[in-house]
Structure 1
Amino acid sequence: MLPDLAAMSSTSFQITATTGAFPLEAGTIFTNTVEVNTTLLGDDPSNNVAETAATVFPLLYIHEIQGSGDSNTMPGAIVNIEAIVVGDFQDNDGDLFDTDLDGFYVQEELADYDNDKSTSEGLFVYAPGATDVAVGDLVCLTGEVGEYSDQTQLTLQGDLKICGHATLPAPVSLTLPVRDISDFERYEGMLVSFPQALVISEYYNYDRYNEVVLAEPFVDERPFQPSAYLDPTTEADAIDDAASLIARSRITLDDARSAQNPPLLRHPNGAPYALDNRFRGGDMVQDATGVLGQGFGIYRLQPTVAATYIEENPRPDASPAVGGSVQVGAFNVLNYFLTLDDGSDICGPNLDMECRGADTPQEFDRQRAKILAALEEIEADVFGLVELENTTGVTPTADLVAGLNDTLGAGTYAHIETGTIGGDAIKVGLIYKASTVTPLGDFVVLDDPAFLDPNNTGVPKNRAALVQTFQDNRSGETFTVVVNHLKSKGSDCGGAPDDDPVQGNCNLTRAMAADYLVDWLSTNPTGTGTGNNLIIGDLNAYDK
């Protein structure tokens, strides 16, 4: 308890500030909660009513925290900042897409910028449960300096204070390609804009993470893997240069959410994605604007306003005419399981594997309806299906055929009954239109070790292939369909030379399996083929 100062002859105190490695600059502010312990001047130290002194933290500019390197200059330090909110991504604050990064981005006031172009003037404040802020608020806060997934951030200490409001800084205009990917670092946490028209080049993670990759167009098209137009065996240097250019010519448009499979997807134009507000690869996005963040190995644009969407690649009304009398299609049904995934290991040939499909009846009904609608619209004579449940006693092809025939008429489609194929939780399958083609002989499964694990890793990598010969009911000609699901690029195969920096992980495994498959087909494995072999399925490879 502090002494009764009014009853004392002297009220002068000496306070010693402890600032660690930081000098006490003009404008130093205290933390929100300060305990001051005092010693009366001239008094005997043995009569101290308390010990030590006030704790003081420095008020720093953001560029002092960021520095000019890849990471911050003072990990673990406690600092104070005063800055403008330029990206509000707090959880449960009522925005349409429920952004949930548990924090917000702040940027230094323009008058407080330094003259060093290599230092960023913005950063992320991780502040779960903090006072709700809004873009344009001038906030005063104390935080601990750190890095999360390569992004500099302050973790809020105590409460924050909205000190006023300020004019937002103009977004920094960026143009792709950058000279080096590290050039993005100087803008980390800052409001930026990409004024050029960028092509939607990739959207693999759109449904799961609402991410779209935007890139500078290559001759008005999406960038292709360099091996699609360069020969790796004779043009290795050119491939390296092209791969570098592609990497420097792209930015990921994110959605400021961490949750997977969000119920509402954000279209690049800022509105919810819907059947009447969709996009295709090859369409363009201009004036993409937001905060440049970093996470999970890449730089990301967390949008703050809508971009301009330009439709450049509309869906054709009909498939191109290619001739012929029989249509064959390959369709990845993305883990179509009749057995719901409740977390139990009850799927697979031995009923000891995790199920990979829908978690609820509602999810299953939605998946089934979408697959059937697509199959009905395509209405191919033969479909090779990929990622079907491979559980003993479960026949997903029969279920899909039943659904098709409910709409198209009894007996329209039939399926090849195979039982389980291989040892994985998923398999490939075949369905066909009985009025146009007829299966000849029995199906054959290619599950040789030299095909499943051609690089001798000790673990099967490719999935067993399904082979069936058909006869065209109109012409009498025969053809053999081979449905494949080769190893994906999602996990490695032990490093080089199998894992290729351009062709992706397990490139050698896929290439060796393809060679083996071609040689095997030349032996007429069904005993009824005439050399008209059609290799289809998910080959998980680029075109060259």
Structure 2
Amino acid sequence: MRQPQVGFDSMAGATPVEPGRSVRHVARKGATVAGAVIGAVALVGGVLVGATPGGDPASAATSPGSVRIHDIQGASWISPLDGQKVDNVPGIVTGIRATGSSRGYWVQDPAPDADPLTSEGVFVYTGKAPTVSVGDSVLVSATVKDFRAIASGTTLATTSYLSVTELTSATATVVSSGNELPAPVVITPTTVPATYAPDLGGANIETTALTPSRSALDYYESVEGMRVRVDDARVIGPSDAYGEQYITTKPDQLRSKRGGALLTAENATPSGRLEVVPTDGSNPGVSVGDVFTGETVGPIDYSQYGGYLIAATTLGPVASANLKPTVASKPKSDQLSIATYNVENLTPTDSAAKYAALGKGIVTNLASPDIVTVEEVQDNTGATDDGTVASDQTLAKLTAAITAAGGPAYSTRSIDPVNDADGGQPGGNIRIVFLFNPKRVSFVDSGRRGIDRATTATAVTSTHGKPGLSFSPGRIDPGSAAWKSSRKPLVGQFTFRGKSVFVVGNHFASKGGDQSQDGRFQYPEQSSAVQRKAQAAEVNSFVDAVLARDKRAAVVVAGDLNDYQFSPAMKTLTGQADGKTALTDLITTLPSNEQYTYDYQGVSEVLDHILVSKGVGTPQYEVIHTNSEYADQVSDHDPQVVRLFGTPKPQSAVIPPKGVATGYSDALDKLDYQGATVGGLSSLAYDSRSKSWISAVDNHASDPSRIWFIGRNLAKPAVVRAPLVLKTPTGDPYTGLTADNEGLAVLPNGDYLVSSETEPSIRIFGRDGVQKSQLRVPGRFAVTGTTLSGAGLSGAAVAREATSNATLEGLSISPSGRTIVAAMEGALSGDVSANGDTRSHRLLVYKAGSHGSWSLTKQVGYRAGAGQRIPEIVAVDDDRLVVEEASFAADSGNAVKLYAVSGLARATDVSRVANLSTAPASAVLSKTLVADLVKGPTLGATALESQANPLLDNFEGMALTGRGPGGTIKISLISDDNFGPLQTTRVLNTLIKLPR
């Protein structure tokens, strides 16, 4: 938020008047009635009292005096008659301001001179609603005064505002009424100079010669008080609460994409910008791009808030541009989205409408970012300066509003500031807050408890060569002078798909106290820039410390930095100032006509930023225009969002020794379908009758056992119909408590074949999901300590040797439909060697019989690698298999290898072999490595867990999906996320070259 400067009345001893409003709208000392001076103005309860308004018409008519309005205005910035009394100055009343506290009227000489430097109009200050009427010919006797507002912290000598020549302590005589008004000066696109203000090295423009062709300031001074007209004026700054808005007289000058007027360099205010304020106190409620059609007419006035303006006596009818708020693109599941949003002094007492609008903006317009840095969150008592610093009530209302709008249940992290130490609205204790979606990202909380984090700096640490934080959340050097009376940056470490992301939320010092862009000192001094540059240096040093430990670290710096993209502060923050660019300011990557986040008095400019390090990959960045261009804004800032990481366009890449990765998709990850979460997918098969790939859900507590239909194209998987619920023969749904479904195949007659590792079992289900029968499983395959009843297990007297959660994981049917193969994930206890070798696995081979029957014909031995399990198998034909071997380690993640196996048809039956570990090599299938996925490409994938290759996850389903070129086969794998936040449902597509 650009902090407004407090107005002061130079005629009232520098007494503050209506903070945030122009003192041109308050009554002042020295008003007269019929020439009688009334007493001094007093400040009572923040309201000026004690002045009796004057300037009403006198009853006696007199002849015009010798002084005309152009004599009063003169050919200079300051009236040559300043402080002198003038009598019977003739003029026609052209406009009346009867509301507000700067009431009066404008008069203009109907007989102008020929000097373009001397204005023919002037404002007559009355202090109450004037009784003259527009069109009256009047003679005014008054004192000439160049009125100047005094900014907070300045004096009459140092205040930066321009003066306005006025007539005060006035009496007026109406000579006649109903007179034709002087014709307005028509301002066309070429009337006003292209330069807004001259560069005088900071000198006072009022000491230079008035030169209307030099700048917009010069031009408007030369017509101050005169009627002007602008036709079909486009709005470039929306109506505010006071009925003030901005138009452009140069429609094509520095036009933004959405109709505003851009700031493209320091001190480069668009010269076509002009404020418009209706004299009747009305508020047209216009937004950027709207047009006042036809004529907008009124005298030229000046305000400390916006500079020269049209005091509009006529507003053209509004033609709405129907400017629509922008909406962020929805991030993909593998993208991290981070937004920043200044919510403008948010307090618990703000209206429900504001909270609802903020909630909608975050959910709908920002697409529910994973992380939001929020600025200007006030404490629980708002601007009441009672020592309260906690903001839990404010945050509770904000997060509730987001949830009510359909968004996630955000968690928060923030640090309560020291009372009244961080600037902003007195008593409000504004601070920066992290909102984050715990279902998408994890916050790394670090640092000892009991430490005052408001005053203790966080430091960059190093663990195993990777950066961390001593305090997360923490603050960057809060004791530094750079942060005096200003918000300290909030730093946090997040984890997204196994990758650390460091986020720095900021709210740099405001521009309050800077000289006015519309004022007399040109170019204006920006004293606040010194502090922002120092703040930028602090943040830059912190980022450098992170990158020194890991040059590929993902760092995001976001927030209201209160400075332009081309400012010295931003050059310092990015590192450009010292030639070591560490951060990219994403606003600079947009087209020039889209570079703005704020509309300050009709100027579309940048105050809010998101900057990123190279470690975030290729960011996708948007400014979301929901506020700054609209009259009904909920904040004065536009939020913005960036999507990080993500998947580049899939490209084929080699998986040694005989594989190629052709692409992957996370489209199914954490997908919600009609209230059910897609997850736990541990199998993959093609259902020709539904023309869709299908996947069964493994153990998920009391949820019903489901088969999901995920479409025909595994490059773009999508749920295409409601899932099929698997049921017992009596019609009761199986659940995760009664079935742990791991393998899936479709029989030639369309029935579904599902293996469960609970018992284990291999069940046959009809198309309606009801169990029809089951295949026989040898009794020794039963889990130790379980019963055999109802599971299709045979051999009651046989010892049960299987390990829980390591039974019939793999299941496949050959393309011919004549062979079923089921694989044990782990070794039977009887197959473990004396020295603990668990590599010997058994495969069950079934052959088709008559009338859809199946018989177990043999058991086949398979020897896996050390520490490997068998999650899945694929029957390439009746003789060949592809076997997946997999393992997991906490520090390196998943490892997956695919092996080609042949000779199934003639393989030895090992059903009578008591211990496979002692069997000869000829008793087990031979295998050849065809794909080591850890050594394959990443394809740009990311992972929440630590992974040697982030493309990998818990792949438990696999299927033959087609034939490729050159004798290759297409193999697709699907990962089981176990419904966990750190795992991903991912489909990986490959080509595999099998040995001859």
* Bucket of the pairwise TM-score, normalised by the shorter protein: 0.5 to 0.7
Distance 1:197 1:432 in 2: 43
Q: Per-residue deviation at 1:429?
A: 0.5
Q: Per-residue deviation at 1:169?
A: 1.6
Cα pair distance change 1:393/1:226, threshold 3 Å? closer
Partner of 2:355: 368
Q: Per-residue deviation at 1:520?
A: 1.3
Asked if the contact 2:69–2:122 (Cα under 8 Å) also holds between the matched residues in 1, the reply is yes
Q: Per-residue deviation at 1:337?
A: 2.6
1:518 matched to 2:548? The reply is no
Q: Per-residue deviation at 1:163?
A: 2.5
Distance 2:322 2:530 in 1: 34
Structure 1 range deviating more: 530-539 or 506-515: 506-515
Partner of 1:328: 338
Distance 1:436 1:518 in 2: 28
Partner of 2:917: none
Asked if the contact 1:131–1:159 (Cα under 8 Å) also holds between the matched residues in 2, the reply is no
Asked if the contact 1:79–1:142 (Cα under 8 Å) also holds between the matched residues in 2, the reply is yes
Q: What pairs with 1:308-327 in structure 2 (closer than 5 Å)?
A: 314-315=323-324, 318-320=327-329, 325-327=335-337
Matched residue SS, 1:384: strand
Q: Per-residue deviation at 1:534?
A: 1.2
For residue 465 of structure 1, the aligned residue among 472, 489, 494 is: 489
Asked if the contact 1:130–1:160 (Cα under 8 Å) also holds between the matched residues in 2, the reply is no
Give the paired residue count: 415
Partner of 2:275: 252
1:296 matched to 2:304? The reply is yes
1:532 matched to 2:554? The reply is yes
1:167 matched to 2:180? The reply is yes
Matched residue SS, 2:473: strand
Matched residue SS, 2:504: strand
- Structure 2 counterpart of 1:176, one-letter code: V
Distance 1:299 1:407 in 2: 42
Q: Deviations over 1:209-248 (max 9, x none)?
A: 7242636333544554444xxxxxxxxxxx7xxx46x464
Asked if the contact 1:84–1:107 (Cα under 8 Å) also holds between the matched residues in 2, the reply is yes
1:509 matched to 2:544? The reply is no
Asked if the contact 1:138–1:163 (Cα under 8 Å) also holds between the matched residues in 2, the reply is yes
Matched residue SS, 2:513: coil
Matched residue SS, 1:58: coil
Q: Deviations over 1:372-391 (max 9, x none)?
A: 33233332222111011254
Asked if the contact 1:329–1:384 (Cα under 8 Å) also holds between the matched residues in 2, the reply is yes
Cα pair distance change 1:214/1:331, threshold 3 Å? same
Q: Per-residue deviation at 1:153?
A: 1.6
Distance 1:284 1:502 in 2: 31
For residue 413 of structure 1, the aligned residue among 394, 410, 413 is: 410
Partner of 1:66: 73
Q: What pairs with 1:221-300 in structure 2 (closer than 5 Å)?
A: 221=256, 222-227=260-265, 243=267, 246=269, 248-256=271-279, 266=283, 272-273=284-285, 278-280=286-288, 287-296=295-304, 298-300=307-309
Partner of 1:433: 437
Partner of 1:232: none
Asked if the contact 2:492–2:502 (Cα under 8 Å) also holds between the matched residues in 1, the reply is yes
Distance 1:364 1:199 in 2: 28
Distance 1:416 1:81 in 2: 66
Asked if the contact 2:225–2:299 (Cα under 8 Å) also holds between the matched residues in 1, the reply is yes
Q: Per-residue deviation at 1:166?
A: 0.4
Distance 1:131 1:173 in 2: 27
Q: Deviations over 1:97-116 (max 9, x none)?
A: xx55310111112xx22232
Cα pair distance change 1:102/1:197, threshold 3 Å? closer
- RMSD value, Cα: 3.8
For residue 248 of structure 2, the aligned residue among 202, 211, 214 is: 214
- Structure 2 counterpart of 1:384, one-letter code: T
Q: Per-residue deviation at 1:285?
A: 5.7
Q: Per-residue deviation at 1:123?
A: 0.8
Cα pair distance change 1:438/1:226, threshold 3 Å? same
Q: Per-residue deviation at 1:331?
A: 1.0
Distance 1:317 1:196 in 2: 26
Partner of 1:491: 513
1:146 matched to 2:145? The reply is yes
Cα pair distance change 1:519/1:215, threshold 3 Å? farther
1:387 matched to 2:376? The reply is yes
Q: Per-residue deviation at 1:80?
A: 1.1
Q: Per-residue deviation at 1:302?
A: 1.1
For residue 445 of structure 1, the aligned residue among 474, 477, 481 is: 474
Asked if the contact 1:283–1:310 (Cα under 8 Å) also holds between the matched residues in 2, the reply is yes
The alignment's TM-score, normalised by the length of structure 2, stands at: 0.38
Q: Per-residue deviation at 1:126?
A: 1.1
Asked if the contact 2:95–2:299 (Cα under 8 Å) also holds between the matched residues in 1, the reply is yes
- Structure 2 counterpart of 1:376, one-letter code: V
Partner of 2:192: 176
- Structure 2 counterpart of 1:400, one-letter code: L
Partner of 1:190: 226
- Structure 2 counterpart of 1:314, one-letter code: L
- As a proportion of its length, which structure holds more helix? 1
Q: Per-residue deviation at 1:189?
A: 0.7
Partner of 1:85: 93
Asked if the contact 2:389–2:418 (Cα under 8 Å) also holds between the matched residues in 1, the reply is no
Distance 2:529 2:560 in 1: 14
- Structure 2 counterpart of 1:305, one-letter code: T
Q: Per-residue deviation at 1:480?
A: 2.2
Structure 1 range deviating more: 383-392 or 420-429: 420-429
Cα pair distance change 1:542/1:312, threshold 3 Å? farther
- As a proportion of its length, which structure holds more strand? 2
Distance 1:225 1:179 in 2: 22
Asked if the contact 1:414–1:431 (Cα under 8 Å) also holds between the matched residues in 2, the reply is yes
Distance 1:437 1:537 in 2: 20
Asked if the contact 1:60–1:81 (Cα under 8 Å) also holds between the matched residues in 2, the reply is yes
Q: Deviations over 1:347-378 (max 9, x none)?
A: xxxxxxxxxxxxxx5x5445434333323333
The alignment's TM-score, normalised by the length of structure 1, stands at: 0.66
- Structure 1 counterpart of 2:102, one-letter code: L
Cα pair distance change 1:529/1:209, threshold 3 Å? farther
Asked if the contact 2:358–2:402 (Cα under 8 Å) also holds between the matched residues in 1, the reply is no
Matched residue SS, 1:518: helix
Q: Deviations over 1:403-429 (max 9, x none)?
A: 3334538x7222125333683221100
Partner of 2:565: 543
Asked if the contact 1:461–1:509 (Cα under 8 Å) also holds between the matched residues in 2, the reply is no
Distance 2:65 2:79 in 1: 16
Partner of 1:260: none
Cα pair distance change 1:400/1:170, threshold 3 Å? same
Cα pair distance change 1:370/1:540, threshold 3 Å? same
Distance 1:484 1:542 in 2: 15
Cα pair distance change 1:184/1:418, threshold 3 Å? closer
What are structure 2's unaligned runs of at least 5 residues? 1-56, 149-162, 194-211, 380-387, 423-428, 447-471, 516-520, 567-996
Q: What pairs with 1:122-133 in structure 2 (closer than 5 Å)?
A: 122-129=121-128, 131-133=130-132
